């Protein structure tokens, strides 16, 4: 048996089998990746049957409306237009501005985000903590992600800039489509 493995002919045959196997597996991977790209380029209403959100959940290619946040806290209002939706091939998010209703009120972007998050907590939304945090008290409220199981809300505000308007990213909690 060892003599057979030492022969040049056997080594050439084994090398050929390995090369053919690599070429075939590479071709299969290429075909699968091309079919994945073709599926993500379909219209949003198509192809939901066996994919990510097919169980009656929200379509990952439709951003949730600002209304999922509920009633704005006292003295604040939500603003989001159709052009505030940003999409990738797999999912869409909506940017929602949180502004004061009174021009004379001096509410910082941090305070606005915390007021919205407090309101979401009162509506029984949960908090997803950043990596390394064990308790909600370990991090500022605005550094957590809020979720009700179907929608996720994260702070996207540039708090360091002067006169910053609070901005929240609202997206579906279901995993993105492949």
pTM above 0.85, yes or no: no
pLDDT at 104: 66
pLDDT at 16: 84
pLDDT-derived band at 51 (thresholds 50, 70, 90) equals: very low
In whole angstroms, give the CA distance from residue 169 to residue 111.
17
DSSP string, 58-88: --TTSPPPGGGG-SPPTTEEEE--GGGEEE-
pLDDT at 54: 44
pLDDT at 37: 58
Domain boundaries, the chain: 2-40, 66-172
Beta-strand relationship, 85-87 and 151-155: unpaired
In this structure, of 48-57, 100-109, 167-176, the range with the lowest mean pLDDT score is: 48-57
User: Checking phi first, is residue 11 left (phi over 0); if not, alpha (psi -120 to 50) or beta?
Assistant: alpha
Tokens 């505030």 sit on residue: 84
Does 46 score more than 50 pLDDT?
Answer: no
């Amino acid at each position: 048996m060892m003599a057979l493995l030492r022969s040049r002919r056997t080594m050439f045959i084994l090398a050929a089998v390995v090369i053919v196997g690599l070429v075939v597996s590479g071709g299969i991977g290429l075909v699968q990746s091309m079919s994945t790209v073709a599926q993500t380029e379909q219209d949003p209403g198509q192809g939901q049957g066996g994919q990510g959100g097919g169980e009656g959940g929200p379509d990952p290619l439709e951003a949730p409306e600002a209304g999922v946040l509920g009633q704005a806290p006292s003295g604040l209002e939500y603003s989001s237009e159709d052009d505030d939706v940003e999409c990738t091939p797999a999912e869409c998010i909506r940017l929602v501005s949180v502004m004061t209703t009174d021009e004379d009120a001096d509410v910082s972007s941090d305070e606005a985000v915390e007021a919205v998050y407090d309101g979401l907590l009162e509506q029984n939304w949960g908090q997803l903590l950043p990596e390394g945090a064990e308790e909600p008290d370990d991090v500022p409220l605005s550094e957590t992600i809020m979720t009700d199981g179907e929608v996720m809300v994260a702070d996207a505000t540039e708090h360091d800039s002067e006169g910053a308007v609070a901005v929240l990213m609202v997206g579906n909690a279901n995993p993105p489509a492949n």
